[in-house]
A and B are shown apart, each in its own frame.
Chain A
Amino acid sequence: MTPERGIPLQAEVLERVDESPGIFTLSLRLVEDREHHAYRFEPGQFNMLYLYGVGEIAISIVGDPQHPELLQHTIRNVGRVTHGFAKLGAGDRIGIRGPFGRGWPLAAAQGRDVLVITGGLGCAPVVPVINHVLHRRAEHGKVAILQGVKHSDDLIWRERYEKWDAEPFTQVLLAADVSGPEWRGYRGRVTGLMQQLDIDFANSVTMMCGPEPMMVAAAGQLLERGVNPDSVWLSMERNMQCAVGHCGHCQFGEKFICRDGPVFPFSEIRALFGARGI
């Protein structure tokens, strides 16, 4: 039987952590024990989060696939629904539908170097895959994590990056276009960090998420280094309302991003990638 889209499940906010002035993380638990224990997700998938009386939005799942029952979502306060979420605290209730979509290529990453390139809040959808890879450290080659932000004050998860940087054969490189006096990372675009990478490009898998111009530039640099376009994966974003390929908003050329993605190999979308108004 073909699945149907379903209705939201009730979730309780365990905690809201303000990561930066405009970004916060909600930790959630499905209220029904059976649903709580049954919930599973793949790194790179997303949930539809529902704010009572306001509406639903698609938000990637941040968290550890080893502990799928702890649902974490890192959210930028930018619209009607997220303004409401930004005011929630422990004990408040929301709705969750999900998970949806195709996640990161875990199997393809096995035995290879893993390069993660993110910009801004694009750092969120890759957290589960980094957790997954570091949990199975021996099954992967070197890991390099590149994160770029506009201003150094925008960087969230400093401790998380320091922890990852301390892992064996793991390189963390941070970039800020504009930086304050305390900034010890790179000044400039995240793509400017590419020269510092110590990985085997020919035997690597790249996972990217961030603003499209950043991903266009990064993909271009990777292909110049001889990386196979099938080995570059990126998480795409468009308006999503149904999450099951019906509402039509997330179309990118022939693709429904919610259903065919949100994670795509570069080879599948490169024809239109970076083109305006698609």
Chain B
Amino acid sequence: MAETGFLTRHRFGDLLAVLADAGYRVVGPVQLDGAIVYTDLHSAADLPAGVMVETAPGTVRTSATQLPRLFAWANGPQALKPLLFGPEETLWRVRRADDGALTFSAASAEVQPHAVIGVRACDLAALCLQDQHFLHGAYRDQHYAARRAQLLLVAVNCTHPAATCFCAATGDGPQAQDGFDLLLDELDEGFIVSSGSERGRELFADLPLLPARADQMRKVASASHKARAMQTRAIPAGDLYDPLMARREHPRWSEVAERCLSCGNCTQVCPTCFCSREQDQAQLDGLASTHVRQWDSCFSEGHSYIHGLVVRGEPRYRYRQWLTHKLGGWHRQYGRSGCVGCGRCIAWCPVGIDICAEVNALLGGDHDS
């Protein structure tokens, strides 16, 4: 049974202090370079009070208001993914002796417990998918596993979905259902705090919580209802592998490829995309080398390279790979869609390609947003 209490706005810093005192590196949203970025929080003043974010296909603009709210925006380009699946990760180091002998040593992730403030329902759904990929398959990724085991999540229910959001259609939001330690519902005067795990319950004792009032709970329910109703985009539900693959020579793939820059922004901001490439970084003195993994994108030419041949040389094949995998392949691989409806790929695409519009065009327009 979840415990619930009310945290007044001016005591929100207590939550950060409690987490810091418990040994967590506290990470959360700040306004930086015209976007919401998740980074270290030193005090509640770092949080984006009054910031609103307007998004549209190919557009993200922040604006300052006098509103007291800290979470009156939907998301930024990244949230949890970089904290677990590192954009760059050293996998091993190797030293070469004078006689040519090689000594390999594993690079273990330096892990400090992280508490992340302001995790959204879409981020939690994406985390679940990344867990399946990196932890629950035939092989486990030890770097991801080490960080995942030390993660504390303070979720917040969305009250201000972006125009690009469609988590209601994918079933992943706007309310967080599970997978968090604490959950916040923001009201003008403060926060309803609910526990979602044993660790979350333990933190309750250290927070200056008041009983949550019935009128506050009614406001929370109403805000949640509104957040759902505000969303207008949708993609068809279910496993789209067969219908999309049946249309694999559809002219729409070429049409979208005319607009697509193959820049890979969509894959970098996608909270479920998991591709990585590996490369060696040899020391200049030749005595040692570091084997590194970096995020990759199926939009890059090298992604499908084999012995002198690029399998997906044309952008239409790359967009097709991304979309058929996201909305089809994931179902076969992990039992659900790889899309959690966060809309980041739409907002951060420099030419505003809209996954909802593309899939609806491919599948016949029955689900136009």
Contacts and interface: CB of A to CB of B under 8 A. Distances in A.
Interface of A: 2-5, 7-10, 31, 50, 52-56, 76, 78-79, 91-95, 237-239, 241-242, 244-249, 251, 253-254, 256, 259, 271-272, 275-278
B320 A3 contact: no
Counting from the closest, the 3 A-B pairs by CB-CB distance are A277-B317, A248-B275, A254-B332
B139 A93 contact: no
A246 B306 contact: no
B138 A2 contact: yes
A242 B140 CA distance: 12
A148 B59 CA distance: 54
Contact of B312 (A2, A93, A244, A277): A277
Given A7-B91, A9-B104, A95-B102, A241 B278 contact: yes
B48 interface: no
A218 to B, nearest CB: 20
Given A55-B280, A95-B94, 18 more contacts: A2-B137, A8-B94, A8-B102, A53-B280, A56-B291, A78-B307, A237-B306, A239-B304, A241-B276, A241-B278, A245-B137, A246-B139, A249-B275, A251-B321, A254-B329, A259-B137, A271-B245, A276-B317
A7 B106 contact: yes
A248 B307 contact: no
B253 to A, nearest CB: 9
Given A239-B303, A277-B316, A254 B296 contact: no
A226 B126 CA distance: 46
A92 B329 contact: no
A2 B303 contact: no
B104 A95 contact: yes
Interface centre among B103, B304, B314 (most CB of A within 10 A): B304
Interface in B290-322: 291, 293, 296, 298, 302-308, 311-314, 316-317, 320-321
B140 A3 contact: yes
A248 B338 CA distance: 13
Interface of B: 91-92, 94, 96, 100-106, 133-142, 241, 245, 248, 274-280, 282, 286, 289, 291, 293, 296, 298, 302-308, 311-314, 316-317, 320-321, 324-325, 328-329, 332-333
Q: Interface residues of B: mostly helix, strand, loop or mixed? A: mixed
27 contacts: A2-B136, A2-B137, A2-B138, A4-B142, A8-B94, A52-B289, A53-B280, A55-B278, A93-B100, A93-B101, A94-B102, A95-B94, A239-B302, A241-B276, A244-B137, A244-B139, A245-B139, A246-B133, A249-B296, A253-B329, A254-B329, A254-B333, A259-B137, A271-B245, A277-B311, A277-B316, A278-B317
B141 A246 contact: yes
B92 A7 contact: yes
A247 B278 CA distance: 9
A92 B289 CA distance: 17
B329 to A, nearest CB: 5
B335 to A, nearest CB: 12
Q: Which of A8, A253, A275 has the most CB of B within 10 A?
A: A253
A166 B302 CA distance: 44
A93 to B, nearest CB: 5
Contact of A10 (B102, B277, B279, B311): B102
Contacts of B286: 53
A223 to B, nearest CB: 21
A55 B289 CA distance: 10
Contacts of B298: 248
Given A54-B280, A55-B280, A248-B298, A79 B308 contact: yes
B247 to A, nearest CB: 12
A254 B308 contact: no
A173 B173 CA distance: 61
Contacts of B282: 53-54
Given A7-B105, A277-B311, A249 B303 contact: yes
Nearest to B305: A239
Contacts of A254: 241, 328-329, 332-333
A2 B139 contact: yes
A259 B138 contact: yes
B306 A10 contact: no
Given A53-B282, A276-B317, A249 B104 contact: no
Given A2-B138, A93-B101, A249-B296, A239 B278 contact: no
Contact of A52 (B102, B141, B303): B102
Contacts of B92: 7-8
Contacts of A237: 306
Contact of A2 (B140, B277, B325): B140
A56 B279 CA distance: 8
